[in-house]
Structure 1
Amino acid sequence: MPDRRVLVFPSAAELGPALARLVAARAERACASDRGRFCLGLSGGSLVSMLSKEMPAVPGLDCSRWVVGFCDERVVPFDDPESTYGLYKDQLLSKINVPDSGVLAINPSLPVGECAEDYARKLSEAFPGEEIPVFDLLLLGMGPDGHTCSLFPDHPLLEETQKTVAPISDSPKPPPQRVTLTLPVVNAARCVAFVSTGGSKASVLKRVLEGGGGPVLPAGRVSPSGGELLWLLDEPAAASLTLQVERPVPGAQL
């Protein structure tokens, strides 16, 4: 089992700055290591607005040695509001100094299968010598069905072990065509941080974190083999949990 921590904040407003401090701290640690760079994987949904609000406010943030990829992506044009890269480009990447060469985006003009292969090639080039790309930090969300990335309950992609990036043409959540990191890549990360807020997530969070209630949901299958696993929640999302949680004081480093 990884080193799992469940951290609960009074509200999403307090969670956001803590998330930004986490990203900045992991970036500083990675850039000071022998690797000399920070590899971050981003997810969409509410994370886009949270990070876009909080990251530019971090004092002295230097993103010049960052490599930014995406945990999953919708195969739509970048100007489509469903494009995760498009949203981050407009709302966050344009405000911080990540070099264009450090941003790994899909080619949405390709058919979904070729798109996945092309993105896998980009990852392979960005992580030379690594059969499975090892990100320093992956930021994940979780849907009300327990899905994460574009890995959905009972879907065959949950059993994928050979590919680093897989196509999906039948996503139960539109748009149907997507590409996603597979579980071997997610579980190779040095740190995985889930961010989940709101009372609508309470029952599925209890199932994922405490077990019971049927097969293990996709989010429950995230278990970094050699890294940290963090769950950052607000009080409404954590309302049904009975396990022991941490409640960080304001300003604490995670």
Structure 2
Amino acid sequence: MSGEVLVVRHSSPELLAAATAGRLLSAIADAQAARGVAHVSLTGGTIGGKTLAAVAAAPAREAVDWKRVHFWWSDERFLPTGDPERNATQAQDALLGALDLDPSTVHYPPATDGPDGDDLDAAAARYAAELLQFGGGADVPAFDVLLLGMGPDGHVASLFPHHPGLARDESSVIGVRGSPKPPPLRVSFTFGAIARARQVWLVASGAEKAPAVARGVAAGDVAETPAAGVFGTDRTLWLVDEAAAADL
């Protein structure tokens, strides 16, 4: 663990999404000013989708040079390209389709209709190799912001409580089988990949998330609550609405 850990509360899911969108735009602009490009890892889920839609709707999005933003995903459902269950499809619909992007900087996770077909492990290795190209000597880039949603069970990316994938850190990306949440096959960053991020933002909304938020903020048992084990090198933000913060 390194860097500061902060909890930021917002009164409603809508304000949470809007505020997170504003933070993201500012962080990207700052990264581009400092380093020329920004590396951002996106997430899915309801609040993740609302956040991306809020970015698309924000006038401040014009302050970002979107051709110099590298987009990644911390996990993805191993399904065909364009499947509505994929996080990348959600991101395309909510934000990416509205931006003037350089296609070479949008790093979509592998799909079952990709070059590796339904070979999950080969697909995960392919994504790990792509991350390595931008790692500057490390396995993955030092993400300027790595966004994570969190399930009511405390899972982040596709790292689920007491799942064998929790203990696998031999690569930056793993193939996940037997996910307790459908679909069963996924690709996911490992804890090691997440730990390279300058800032990790955990975004949670809703009363059903409150117990897991409390365990995660307290840095409890990672096997029980994987969100308790993710930190950024500079900063870790828990961005929550009042319902999700109820047990803090």
CA offsets 1:11-49 (integer angstroms, 9 cap, x no match): 11111221111111111111111x310000011111442
Q: d(CA) in 2 for partners of 1:124 and 1:212?
A: 31
Match of 1:22? 23
Q: d(CA) in 2 for partners of 1:51 and 1:205?
A: 19
Q: Would you say how many aligned residue pairs link Structure 1 and Structure 2?
A: 239
Q: Secondary structure at the match of 1:229?
A: strand
Q: What stretches of structure 1 of length at least 5 have no aligned partner?
A: 242-254
Q: Report the Cα offset of residue 216 of structure 1.
A: 4.8
Give me the TM-score of the superposition, normalised by structure 2.
0.90
Match of 1:140? 148
Stretch deviating more after TM superposition (210-219 or 125-134)? 210-219
What amino acid does structure 2 have at the position aligned with 1:45?
G
Q: d(CA) in 2 for partners of 1:238 and 1:27?
A: 27
CA offsets 1:224-254 (integer angstroms, 9 cap, x no match): 3x2200000101111111xxxxxxxxxxxxx
1:76 aligns with 2:116: no
Match of 1:229? 236
In structure 2, do the counterparts of structure 1 residues 4 and 212 end up closer, same or farther at CA, with 3 Å as the change threshold?
closer
Q: d(CA) in 2 for partners of 1:72 and 1:23?
A: 19
Q: Report the Cα offset of residue 213 of structure 1.
A: 7.9
Q: d(CA) in 2 for partners of 1:217 and 1:197?
A: 16
What amino acid does structure 2 have at the position aligned with 1:228?
R
Question: 4+ residue runs of structure 1 moved beyond 4 angstroms?
Answer: 211-216
In structure 2, do the counterparts of structure 1 residues 29 and 211 end up closer, same or farther at CA, with 3 Å as the change threshold?
closer
Q: Secondary structure at the match of 1:30?
A: helix
Match of 1:248? none
Match of 2:185? 177
Write out aligned runs for 1:137-176 (5 A).
137-176=145-184
Q: Work out whether residues 48 and 87 of structure 1, in 8 Å CA contact, stay in contact via their aligned partners in 2.
A: no
Match of 1:98? 101
Q: Report the Cα offset of residue 91 of structure 1.
A: 2.3
Q: d(CA) in 1 for partners of 2:239 and 2:171?
A: 29
Q: d(CA) in 2 for partners of 1:203 and 1:149?
A: 18
In structure 2, do the counterparts of structure 1 residues 51 and 99 end up closer, same or farther at CA, with 3 Å as the change threshold?
farther
In structure 2, do the counterparts of structure 1 residues 220 and 58 end up closer, same or farther at CA, with 3 Å as the change threshold?
farther
Q: Report the Cα offset of residue 221 of structure 1.
A: 0.6
What amino acid does structure 2 have at the position aligned with 1:88?
A
Q: d(CA) in 1 for partners of 2:54 and 2:172?
A: 30
In structure 2, do the counterparts of structure 1 residues 194 and 212 end up closer, same or farther at CA, with 3 Å as the change threshold?
closer
Q: Work out whether residues 42 and 140 of structure 1, in 8 Å CA contact, stay in contact via their aligned partners in 2.
A: yes
Q: What stretches of structure 2 of length at least 5 have no aligned partner?
A: none
CA RMSD of aligned residues (A): 1.7
Match of 1:246? none
Q: Report the Cα offset of residue 130 of structure 1.
A: 2.4
Q: Report the Cα offset of residue 208 of structure 1.
A: 1.9
